[in-house]
Structure 1
Amino acid sequence: MKKTYIQIVSLLCLLLLGACTKEPAPTKETQQVNEQEQKKNDYDAAVEKKNAELGMTPLELTAYSEEVGAVLVEPTHTNFAVNEIVTVKGTVENQDQLQENYVWIKIRFDGEALSDDSMEYYAPIQDGTFKQDVRLFNGEGEYQVTVMLPSTDRKNYYYDLAKFTVFNVNPTMRRDLTYTPFAQDAGLSLEVPDSGYIKESGIFTLKGKIATIKGTNETLMLELKKDEDTWKHVLPVKNGQFTYDVPLFYGKGVHQLKVYVPDEEKKDYYQAGTILYIDNESELVTEPISYMTTYHERGVNLTYPTTGGEETNLTYRIKGTIDKDAPFAKETTHLYITTKKDDDEALSVIPVDNYTFDDEFYLRFGPGTYDVTVSVPEIKEKNSSKFYYYDVAKFTVESIGTEDQRDSLPSRGVQSDAPEITALAKELVTEDMTDREKAKAIYEFTAKSIAYDVEKQKNSEFQWDDSALKVLELEKGICQDYTYLALALLRASGMEARYVAGTAGAGFNFSRHAWVEVKVDGEWLTMDPTWGAGYIANGEFVANYTEDYFAPNEEAFKTHSRSGVQY
């Protein structure tokens, strides 16, 4: 009985111990590892089976291998199977005789590829050895691989070392990021994306480093292609780093992006660095922005828009920054925006504050396609009656606005929506006035309130911010300033008015001039408040108001020659 009792107790202890030491349920991570291990085992089994079917034959090298003392350690057969990766490994005894320090490996997929049916690796030769793990990028199928060595007497020239066929049993599709010798020598590396084939929608981020570029104005070049469409863009590199949101302009489908590195020996010349394929899932087709060399030289970074061809209604916004380390960055206090539709053109000014700009401009000529040009001002020491600027970017905008408001909207120098101007306009005109009476009141105020600035004209003391508000504050100006103020007050009063450019004078004594045309009762009425203000005698302005230049007849206005309207 005692023995039986001991046996029963022992059995209970074993049962209890078994219950206490039950293995925990596998975690999600453990399951994934197990699944991956199982897949690897399945692929390895598939490799063995395929190799048995292929009846592998030994790999033979070309005669060039003997000339340079090259040996291919891996692979060893001309036809074989692998699980996604094939290793190319070898030695070169006479490396010092080669003109380049890279082995060129070309891979071509036999069949329809997801992006491109080929890709290339450049494996560095170090101390006479090279090794490269080559990913068979298009998944399961057959690939042709060519291994080439550099020439002994010609730069950038290669001879075949070996060719072989390899079958990939793994269906996974993934392209490596590969770099040309130019890119590797320059130290190019992409942080984003981390693959040579990605899926994006409309835009994707490119970010990386290039070790040999340390200056503030160095560049890379991008080339985006899809079918027959191509766009090139020079990308600034600062302190060896770069980042850029690349628009996928050409709609749904695979875009190819080539990244080029600067040539060390040729100025403004680039060499291929790497290739990416971006499968755009967005069907939106947009237009590229054209960037000029001045864009990078002056440190402009246009963060919006990133593409052309957008639709808008009446106004359009641009924003971005100026690199504070770029030439004339501190002096770049504004940008010029030229908008052109058919034969009509307008010039707007966008302020730059603390190296940043973010503002709107008008599309004043009604619905349609506008060509927009962004420019930086020429920075000069001497005064001038003309302003010069350099184009930095061009794009198009599609206005869906319903009205042509060219002569009604505020414009450069004509702040008709400013509180000071609208308040003054309300003082000068009343609702019971006729259009002619309103125009006459504004003509009289402008001519009587502003003194002609002889020194400004004599010394060409023109400024980019000359305007209605400025002349109202200074109470002096030249013809453009009288015109700015009169236009602002007229438009603030609800009247259409425009800036007329031309010349004025008699005989050989004439010069550039500006005056006003205002629509009165459906007809354009001419008025010149500058000449109505007085005259110059002995180099001094003499105030002498006259109505002669309000709606003058043709004979009275024969001293003026009209060249056109400016916006």
Structure 2
Amino acid sequence: MSKRQARGWLISLLFLLLLGACSKESAPPEKDTQPTAEQQKEQEKEKENEFEAAVTKKNTELESSPLELTSYAEEVGATLAEPTHTNFAVNEFVTIEGTVEQHDQLQEHYVWIKIQFSGDSITDTYQEFFTPITNGTFKQEAVLFNGEGEYRVTVLLPSKTQSNYYYDLADFKVFNVNPKIQRDMTFTPFAQEAGLKIKDPDSGYMKGNKVFTLTGTIDPTNDDKNLLMIELTKDTQTWKHIIPIKNGEFSYDIPLFYGKGVHKLKVYVPDKERDNYYQDGTVLYIDNESDLVSEPIIYMTTYEERGVHLISPAYGGEETDLTYRIKGTIDKDAPFAKETTHLYISTKKDGEEALEVIPVEHYQFDDEFYLRFGPGTYEVTVSVPEIKEKKSDRFYYYNVAQFSVTNTAKDQRDLLPSRGVQSDSPKIISIANELMKNSMTEREKAKAVYEYTAKSIAYDVDKLKNSDFEWDDSALKVLELQTGICQDYTYLAIALLRAGGMEARYVAGTAGAGFNYSRHAWVEVKVDGEWLTMDPTWGAGYIEKDKFVAYYNEDYFEPNAEAFKTHTRHGVQY
């Protein structure tokens, strides 16, 4: 072989080697990086062996001595099978087990175990267990809640002569070699006697994100004690709330209001002897991973009394653009549940207030309301109507919840639909389009609405005399009935004007002469940049011998001061 041939052969061989190295087909198969179930078990076993070795090593370093019980042990015949020494190491949990010969003479039926961590903790540095004494024996396996480190444990037994009084039985130190942060869920004697059980979560410490769901059960035999109290704290901030129990069960979404970090949740059970009083039940810690800081909703006592349950919002302080949705249910077994056909929504901003109504159907509500006064923060109040048989010209209601909402949309108060003014209804829009032509001036459009309203509606004398007002009185309702009083004429006129793109507002005041005057309502509409007054009720006719006489007139369309001296303006309602 020549030198040239040899060089060519080497180049070809090198090319084949490079091609083989880059070829997908010739590359060795990738290994599966996920361990199998068998491998996971092996890893866990190895880890466990490491901890057990650490326990053995630590126990050789610690100075330990036999555990001595107090003199009270001899008095009640108490012994401890575990632990046996005063200073020892464990992996994750410590076992306290013993007997009490004279257990039937004790005033309480629980062993009180107090565990204190020596050092800083992401939760509280202590935890308490109330372990039942059953037939003279007790046993508690207690997780050492803050992971690796030293703990001091005190075991106490109840007094034979005093209720809710305990004496020391033993005191010892224990060192946990396991760094895992975990926490038992413990229950006070009050909680155990009430039958409190937490289904979810199943641990006293867990991770959370914005909202945390608490579900559980309680002894259903106490029908008159159907409420729990919860208390959520973080740093110096605290929120308390009452949650309902139904058929011995409860479930509630708890917002983690205070941003990232550990929230402490205390659950209280109702006191058996005292109404509206609660006792400690259990404590949970939720480590919130969200940075979101929100505002608690304020709930009034009527919230529970009337069976209201807000599904949304869960917290206040949210931002929205013009509208905000509210969703929830009414407990069908609550007082006046069937009669609660609607809710009132009051929105306040900078001294201005609007009232909206949302319907309740089949004990459920899900609707939006407007934030009509422009950008800024609103105080929103949700209320239930007062239920009474007697008819009235005023609506009374009870506040049940209050929260804040921030609106980013511009001020559209005089163009948006409002209570009784369904300017977004297809029927209203259709009539408005027929009345208000593009070729008309703004004054002509307003005049067309005035004339239509005054001529289309008959005044309802009986409604005024009998105070036969209803929460759903509105523009659509008056169109259907073709009768109404001043508020109904006003609802219809404003709805038509707003549907036609004209700013209009409801004016409340009084009308009449001398001592013969009464509450009244009329319309102000913006025409060419100025507010024009019109009263379609008085333009429709008059009352004679308790009968309405239809007599259309234009005297109350843009009346002058002399013609309108019968009216006293109190202010804009919406």
TM norm structure 2: 0.91
Note the alpha carbon deviations across 1:443-473, whole angstroms, 9 max, x for none.
1211121111011111111111000011111
Of residues 257, 270, 289 in structure 1, which corresponds to 2:297?
Answer: 289
Q: CA deviation at 1:330?
A: 1.8
The corresponding residue for 1:512 is 519
What does 1:524-539 correspond to in 2, within 5 Å?
524-539=531-546
SS state at 1:529 partner: coil
Letter matched to residue 431 of structure 1:
N
- Secondary structure of 1:211's aligned partner: coil
| CA positional deviation for 1:217 | 8.2
CA distances 1:213-258 after superposition (whole Å, capped 9, x unpaired):
5649811111111111111111111111111221111111111111
3-state DSSP of counterpart to 2:464: helix
| SS of the residue 1:394 aligns to | strand
Give the match for residue 119 of structure 1. 127
Of residues 324-333 and 262-271 in structure 1, the stretch that sits farther from structure 2 once superposed is: 324-333
1:32-85 per-position Cα deviation (integer Å, ceiling 9, x unaligned): 333333333333332232222223112222333344333333222221111222
* Aligned twin of 2:560: 553
Name the structure 1 match of 2:5. none
- Percent identity, please: 71
Equivalent of 2:394 in 378, 386, 391: 386
- Most deviating of 509-518 and 479-488: 509-518
Match of 2:354 among 339, 346, 354: 346
Question: Equivalent residue for 1:157?
Answer: 165
**1:363 CA drift (Å):** 0.5
Aligned to 1:40: 48
| Equivalent position of 1:195 in the other structure | 203
1:332 aligned partner: 340
Match of 1:172 among 162, 168, 180: 180
Does the 8 A contact of 1:217 with 1:297 survive in 2?
no
Cα contact 1:85–1:134 (8 A) shared by 2: yes
> Pick from 414, 418, 432: which aligns with 1:411?
418
Q: Does 2:468 match 1:464?
A: no
Following superposition of structure 1 onto structure 2, how do residues 94-243 of structure 1 map, counting pairs within 5 Å? 94-212=102-220, 215=223, 218-243=226-251
Tell me the SS of whatever aligns to 2:127. strand
Q: Return 293-302 or 345-354, whichever deviates more.
A: 293-302
Contact 1:421 1:489 in 2 (8 A): yes
Match in the other structure for 1:540: 547
8 A contact 1:216–1:237 mirrored in 2: no
Alignment counterpart, residue 260 of structure 2, candidates 235, 241, 252? 252
Say yes or no: does 1:482 pair with 2:484.
no
**Deviation digits for residues 498-519 of structure 1 (CA, Å, limit 9, x no counterpart):** 1111122222222111111111
After superposition, what is the alpha-carbon deviation per residue over 1:297-336, rounded to whole angstroms, capped at 9, x for unaligned?
A: 2222211111111111011111122222222222221111
Q: Which residue of 1 aligns with 2:529?
A: 522
Secondary structure of 1:346 counterpart: strand
Query: Hey, what does 1:445 align to over in structure 2?
Result: 452
Distance 2:54 2:412 in 1: 73
* Match among 503, 513, 517 for residue 510 of structure 2: 503
* Distance in 1 separating the partners of 2:263 and 2:88: 33
Amino acid at match of 1:81: A
Indicate conservation of the 8 Å contact 1:142/1:165, yes or no: yes
Residue equivalent to 1:359: 367
Return the letter of the residue paired with 1:516.
V
Residue 97 to residue 322, structure 1, CA distance change in 2 (3 Å): same
Q: In 2, are the aligned partners of 1:217 and 1:296 still within 8 Å (CA)?
A: no
Give secondary structure in 2 for the equivalent of 1:205. strand
8 Å CA contact retained: 1:258, 1:276: yes
| SS of residue paired to 2:450 | helix
**Secondary structure, counterpart of 1:483 in structure 2:** helix
Q: Which residue of 1 aligns with 2:408?
A: 400
What RMSD over aligned residues (CA atoms) do the two structures have, in Å? Answer: 1.7
Match of 1:422?
Answer: 429
Do the aligned residues in 2 keep the contact of 1:504 with 1:512 (CA within 8 Å)?
yes
Q: Is the alpha carbon distance of 1:167 and 1:373 closer, same or farther for their aligned partners in structure 2, counting shifts above 3 Å?
A: same
Structure 2 residue matching 1:532: 3-state secondary structure: coil
Q: Tell me what 2:57 maps to.
A: 49
Q: Which amino acid aligns with 1:357?
A: F
**In 2: Cα distance, 1:499 partner to 1:337 partner:** 18
The verdict on how the C-alpha distance between 1:103 and 1:217 changes in structure 2, with shifts beyond 3 A counting, is closer
Report the secondary structure of 2:266's partner residue: strand
Aligned 8 A contact 1:448 1:533 in 2: yes
Whether 2:383 is the aligned partner of 1:375: answer yes
Instruction: Give secondary structure in 2 for the equivalent of 1:39.
Output: helix
CA contact (8 A) 2:318 2:406 kept: yes
Secondary structure in 2 aligned to 1:530? coil
Q: SS of the counterpart of 2:448?
A: helix
**2:312 is the counterpart of 1:314:** no
The amino acid that maps onto 2:565 is K
Q: Offset at 1:118?
A: 1.2
> How do residues 66-85 of structure 1 correspond to structure 2 at under 5 angstroms?
66-85=74-93
Answer yes or no: is the 8 Å Cα contact 2:225–2:270 preserved in 1. no
Alignment partner, residue 9 of structure 1: none
Where does the alignment leave 5 or more consecutive residues of structure 1 unmatched? 1-26
Q: Distance in 2 between matches of 1:35 and 1:419?
A: 69
**Helix, strand or coil for the counterpart of 2:508?**
strand
Alignment size in residue pairs:
540
Change (3 A) 1:69 1:481: same
Is the Cα contact below 8 Å between 1:375 and 1:390 reproduced in 2?
Answer: yes
Tell me the alpha carbon deviations over residues 136-165 of structure 1, each in whole angstroms, 9 at most, x when there is no partner: 111111001111222334433323222111
Residue 102 (structure 2) pairs with residue 91 (structure 1): no
- The question of whether the paired residues in 2 share the 8 Å contact of 1:214 and 1:239 is answered with no
| Alpha-carbon distance in structure 2 between the residues aligned to 1:134 and 1:232 | 29
Task: Determine the C-alpha separation between the residues in 1 that align with 2:213 and 2:243.
Answer: 13
Name the amino acid aligned to 2:455: K
Counterpart-to-counterpart distance in 2, 1:339 and 1:68: 65
